[in-house]
Amino acid sequence: MPTTNERDERMKKFKNKGKDAEAMRRQRVEVAIELRKARKDEQILKRRNISFSMEDSLSPEKEDKNLVAELSLEEIISAINSDSFLLHLKAAQSARKMLSRQKNPPINEVIEAGLVPKLVAFLDRHDAPNLQFEAAWALTNIASGTSDQTRAVVEANAIPAFVALLESPHLHICEQSVWALGNIAGDGPMYRDSLIQQQVIPPLLALVAPTTPVGFLRNVTWTLSNLCRNKNPWPPLEAVVQILPALICLLQHEDKDILSDTCWAISYLTDGTNDRIHAVVRTGILTRLVQLLSCPDLPVLTPALRAVGNIVTGTDEQTQLAIDAGLLDILPRLLRHPKSSIQKESAWALSNIAAGPCSQIQQIITCGLLHPLVELLEKGDFKAQKEAIWAVANFTTGGTVEQIVDLVQAGTLLPLLNLLAVKDGKTVQVILDSLSNIFLSAEKLGETEKLCVLVEQLGGLEKIEALQTHENNAVYQSALNLIEKYFSGDDDENLNPEVNEETQTFTFAAEEKDHYDF
């Protein structure tokens, strides 16, 4: 049977722990698989060039008609091992076409035939740009495959050759090299760091220039984003500091693909410790990131929201910078976004802001976020509802009594109690903790019995009682504690409150000047 260890594990995912002012900012963790899935709006790790003709390719040159006839793999092996330049070019071109097939390109067969070292050697043929280009394209597609296939390219010593080609006078060769290096970087942190150690960053940054064509700049941006990716280990901080000025520049671009990959890069850099978040926010990048939260294009909005969401997992000061940049003014609209994944990410960001001091919780109230939060609890997708529940939990943990009263009066209780019926034990436990916090506030106001009546008339007592048979022992114990502490006495008929039909909250007659209604 699950124990309180489950709760302890959940709390480890928080910036802090418990109610002792330590609690509640949750960084995204690897086990939260649904937040890491490669969805359509996620960034692609590797890309394969599947153009079939030079007219469609990066090259400004036309195919040599004498080279058009494709060779079989056996013929490629024979040609590539000959002493003829024309045969080398024909072999490289045929290999490129073979590897550019949309379905089932024979990458393993090409590797097993020993062609990779030959293709890498062609990258050094500065006297033959056509040959360089065909070899670079073929190797790009090999590196777009599995980790083993990428390893074959790296172990053939392709990295220094591709880095050198970043300064090629031939734009199409330079761009194809950028693409290949992006695929190698996208394989994981080991090759990413190998690229950084082999000085890939300076020539890449030199390509972030007004004279670089937009299509080329997209590839440069994507490759830079892969150099920012992965966190086991994170990229070296010195490399991050090197790349950030270029990302700030790219974030001002109008092209949606460039903006998207730049935002993904920033989201990777902020998905870490507070010192890494600091390296990003100290550049002043937050204002532009928050502006992009109003972008109607999901491929831009999604990573921009992820990046800002990561930043508010940081310190209270880092979170305040996001608030000062206007985040809370945009969140109400994002919580009501038609895309459920945006609702979920927005609620996650809100939950981490609610984990801050009561001054930040007050800003949540002032910016009108309580009603959108209640709407999400009532009718959101379950993944979004879970994040909204955490927002309530953090709010009730760190908020003042007055702020918790505002939360209840916004209509939070009814959807919160209804969600006690979900099957997810961890979520139910968070709701019970929130209810316990609300009751503690009621105790301070002397309104405990009236809150009991409110919960009972909303059908909450029945739901709490049903949890006494829950398979999760922590849920059972929390439900039992609530019942024994607040619902074991006799009812007082004089305590029946007057229900507000619109908000499903209750109003009590004031006996004292400073009393609060639940």
- pLDDT tens for each residue of 67-110: 456 899 999 999 999 999 999 999 999 999 999 988 999 999 99
- pLDDT confidence bin for 9, thresholds 50/70/90: very low
The span from the CA of 324 to the CA of 307, in Å, is: 16
- Confidence check: pLDDT of 34 > 60: no
Instruction: Tell me what the pLDDT averaged over the chain comes to.
Output: 87
Quick one: tokens of 398?
A: 């760190």
Quick one: tokens of 58?
A: 């990066």
- Confidence check: pLDDT of 413 > 50: yes
- Confidence check: pLDDT of 491 > 70: no
- Confidence check: pLDDT of 306 > 80: yes
Task: Collect all residues with Cβ–Cβ distance below 8 Å to 461 and sequence separation of at least 6.
Answer: 452, 455, 483, 487
Q: How many CB atoms neighbour CB 122 within 10 A?
A: 23
- pLDDT confidence bin for 45, thresholds 50/70/90: confident
Given a contact cutoff of 8 angstroms between Cβ atoms, the answer to whether 64 and 177 are in contact is no
Three-class SS of residue 498? strand
pLDDT for 475 equals: 97
* 424-448: average pLDDT: 97
- Confidence check: pLDDT of 51 > 90: no
Quick one: tokens of 289?
A: 């990131």
The span from the CA of 426 to the CA of 423, in Å, is: 9
Tell how far CA 183 is from the center of its chain: 20
- pLDDT confidence bin for 44, thresholds 50/70/90: confident
The span from the CA of 405 to the CA of 407, in Å, is: 5
Three-class SS of residue 500? strand
Quick one: tokens of 488?
A: 């074991």
Residue 25, judged by CB atoms within 10 A of its CB (0-12, 13-18, 19+), counts as buried
Task: Collect all residues with Cβ–Cβ distance below 8 Å to 162 and sequence separation of at least 6.
Answer: 123, 136, 139, 177, 180, 181, 184
- pLDDT tens for each residue of 100-144: 988 999 999 999 999 999 999 999 999 999 999 999 999 999 999
Percent of the chain's residues with pLDDT above 70:
82
* 17-28: average pLDDT: 43
Quick one: tokens of 377?
A: 């609890």
pLDDT for 43 equals: 63
Minimum mean pLDDT range among 10-19, 39-48, 216-225: 10-19
Q: How many CB atoms neighbour CB 501 within 10 A?
A: 5
Instruction: Tell me what percent of the chain is helix, strand and coil, each rounded to the nearest 5.
Output: 65, 0, 35
Is the omega angle on the peptide bond into residue 233 within 30 degrees of 0, that is, cis? yes
pLDDT for 46 equals: 81
Q: Around 207, how many Cα atoms within 13 Å sit in the side-chain half-sphere?
A: 31
- pLDDT confidence bin for 49, thresholds 50/70/90: confident
Q: Could you write out the DSSP letters of every residue in 12-56?
A: HTBSSBTTTTB---B---TT-GGGT---TTSPPS-------STTT
Given a contact cutoff of 8 angstroms between Cβ atoms, the answer to whether 300 and 259 are in contact is yes
The span from the CA of 311 to the CA of 322, in Å, is: 8
* 193-219: average pLDDT: 97
Angle 365-371-374 (CA atoms, 0-180°, nearest 5)?
A: 115
Quick one: tokens of 260?
A: 């998207």
- Confidence check: pLDDT of 516 > 70: no
DSSP 421: G
The span from the CA of 58 to the CA of 53, in Å, is: 10
pLDDT for 148 equals: 97
Higher confidence at residue 237 or residue 511? Answer: 237
- pLDDT confidence bin for 48, thresholds 50/70/90: confident
- pLDDT tens for each residue of 457-472: 999 999 999 999 999 9
pLDDT for 17 equals: 33
Tell me the backbone φ, ψ of residue 26, rounded to 5 degrees: -110, 115
Tokens 């870490």 locate to 272
- pLDDT confidence bin for 514, thresholds 50/70/90: very low
Q: What is the pTM of this model?
A: 0.87
pLDDT for 42 equals: 53
